[in-house]
A = this chain, B = another copy of it.
């Protein structure tokens, strides 16, 4: 069983998109799934499931679907590149290159983790508000984050993607997902081709937090 300090794992969890095709041992996959099961969920109902797709033909089909839905998305990013200030362009170009790589190699990851959820098992407390609903995700993505952190602990590259939801009907048919179960995330995992995980850059605590109200910066 892999051991790693919690803060070390969190602060070095990168989106690793360049993966080796080498198989992942079953006991490693089991620990990654078990970590996901430990997450909290509304009423502790755990209304999510994960399909660990290893079968080559199904991965190839998922890769085709991903390429179909992701390519227009990446193109829209590329289109905005010229309008960006010089300082942001290099970072965005790197993200686009990495994203393009993923569109072409999604199905080459040795395992694709497809997270599913049951709509009736979520407590969607923001359903009646006049804005996009997000609370259903509160019973799914804590498990997804545990899954990613466990990959980090096990030395597996991984990246959280949600674009495949656009092709949900096709994914449902391919993986025999029964109604009304639906899809929430698709996570390619595998051992990294290069360095893999490492230090990440994020906004500072001061930019992300407040004390007592929105008018008072965190200090």
Contacts and interface: CB of A to CB of B under 8 A. Distances in A.
Interface stretch (A17-25, A101-109, A173-181): A173-181
Contact of A141 (B49, B53, B123, B145): B145
B212 A51 contact: yes
B209 A138 contact: no
A134 B134 contact: yes
Nearest to A181: B214
B137 A141 contact: yes
Contacts of A164: 125
Contacts of A166: 125-126, 128
B209 A33 contact: yes
Interface string A29-52: 011011111111011101011111
A205 B40 contact: no
A111 B100 CA distance: 43
Contact of A134 (B33, B44, B136): B136
B133 A133 contact: yes
